[in-house]
């Protein structure tokens, strides 16, 4: 389980602080596939880096924390921001946007697998025995153990991504974070990667967090999802509900822009561009693009609250709906 408690982050620059994550407060549950969606530049990758404890200057946590807790091999554990990196690969792992950013191009995969396993988990076996365990795991994933002898640059993009997923899941971590796992891959390979992630989550019964700007990925894979806009979550709920009945204007426009099978009409995207995080507008940050914005929207930041059972959103119009129904 991941608890995100009133988290705010920023980047320190010579021109001042750039606030990226704004007072984010939510819980990602055990044994679920959780999606984080939104346009490029909304803070998705920064959030994922913070969840994985990759917080290094110029990125800083201004307030709040992330808590990773759960149970493994009969023992309960709890780590918070600043401690989570101590349990990389074992309790939490990361599938990055570009496999080459994690894999060392001049080191064979077999050494990278061995090095990722904590010493205490291989202290009673030889390196050959460890590699045999790795090879058997690769076979379970329908990957040839021959890839262990390869250098990353010798593999195709899809094979590198599969190798990273195998590396990230070998220790059966409680949480796996995946940042745009299908980017730059062809459609057939994308489907294979998504099926692999879903199969592993079902097998390990762990938590899988997927960041993607591709709404189709979330529709196919996730159970619950958060919609981000300009550093904040504007809607949270079950994926089926969000696609079937979006309640925030931004989510409604995102879903409305998706093409439908059999349609011969041309759908348009959301007019305008997201605000610069360095100089966001006052009030609701979506107000300049929202067709329903009022003067209140342009002045006051809407509270993120439960507006329907299991549905959370930050919108003044929805808050009025809650009052009317309450």
pLDDT tens by residue, 96-107: 877 666 788 889
- The residues, ordered by sequence, that sit 6+ positions from 118 with a Cβ below 8 Å of its Cβ are 89, 90, 171
pLDDT beyond 90 at 11: yes
Core vs surface per residue 189-214: b (16+ CB within 10 A) or e: bbebbbebbeebbeeeebbbbbbbbe
pLDDT tens by residue, 286-306: 999 999 999 999 999 999 999
Task: State the chain's maximal CA–CA distance in angstroms.
Answer: 68
pLDDT value of position 243: 95
**Interaxial angle between packed helices 109-116 and 157-169, expressed in degrees from 0 to 180 and rounded to the nearest 10:** 20
pLDDT beyond 70 at 146: yes
Q: Which fold has domain 2-229?
A: Rossmann fold (3.40.50)
Task: Report the C-alpha gap between 97 and 91 in whole angstroms.
Answer: 20
Do 209 and 175 form a contact (C-beta atoms < 8 A)? yes
Q: Where are the domains of the chain?
A: 2-229, 231-259+268-326
pLDDT beyond 80 at 41: yes
pLDDT value of position 97: 79
Sheet holding 232-238, edge to edge: 92-95, 175-179, 207-211, 33-37, 224-229, 232-238, 311-314, 304-308
| DSSP per-residue codes, 280-293 | PPSS-TTGGG-TT-
**Pairing mode of beta strands 2-13, 16-28:** antiparallel
pLDDT beyond 70 at 136: yes
Find the mean pLDDT for residues 194-222: 92
């Amino acid at each position: 389980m991941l608890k995100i408690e009133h988290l705010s982050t920023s980047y320190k620059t010579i021109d001042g602080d750039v606030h990226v994550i704004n007072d984010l407060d939510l819980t990602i549950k055990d044994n679920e596939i959780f999606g984080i969606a939104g346009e490029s530049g909304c803070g998705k990758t920064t959030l994922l880096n913070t969840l994985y404890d990759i917080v290094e200057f110029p990125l800083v946590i201004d307030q709040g924390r992330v808590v990773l807790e759960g149970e493994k091999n009969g023992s309960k554990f709890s780590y918070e921001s600043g401690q989570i990196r101590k349990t990389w690969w074992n309790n939490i792992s990361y599938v990055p946007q570009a496999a080459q950013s994690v894999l060392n191009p001049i080191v064979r995969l077999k050494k990278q697998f061995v090095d990722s396993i904590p010493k205490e988990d291989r202290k009673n076996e030889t390196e050959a025995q460890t590699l045999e365990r790795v090879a058997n795991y690769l076979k379970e994933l329908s990957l040839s153990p021959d890839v262990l002898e390869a250098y990353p640059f010798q593999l195709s993009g899809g094979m590198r991504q599969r190798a990273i997923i195998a590396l990230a899941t070998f220790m059966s971590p409680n949480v796996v974070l995946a940042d745009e796992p299908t980017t730059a891959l062809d459609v057939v390979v994308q489907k294979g990667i998504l099926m692999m992630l879903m199969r592993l989550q079902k097998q390990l019964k762990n938590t899988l967090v997927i960041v993607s700007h591709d709404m189709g990925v979330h529709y196919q894979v996730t159970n619950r999802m958060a919609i981000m806009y300009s550093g904040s979550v504007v809607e949270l709920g079950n994926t089926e509900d969000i696609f079937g009945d979006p309640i925030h204007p931004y989510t409604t426009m995102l879903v409305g822009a998706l093409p439908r099978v059999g349609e011969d009409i041309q759908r348009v995207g959301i007019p305008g561009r997201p605000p610069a995080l360095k100089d966001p507008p006052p009030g609701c940050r979506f107000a300049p693009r929202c067709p329903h914005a009022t003067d209140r929207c342009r002045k006051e930041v809407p509270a993120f609250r439960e507006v329907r059972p299991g549905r959370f959103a930050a919108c003044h119009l929805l808050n009025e709906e809650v009052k009317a129904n309450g």
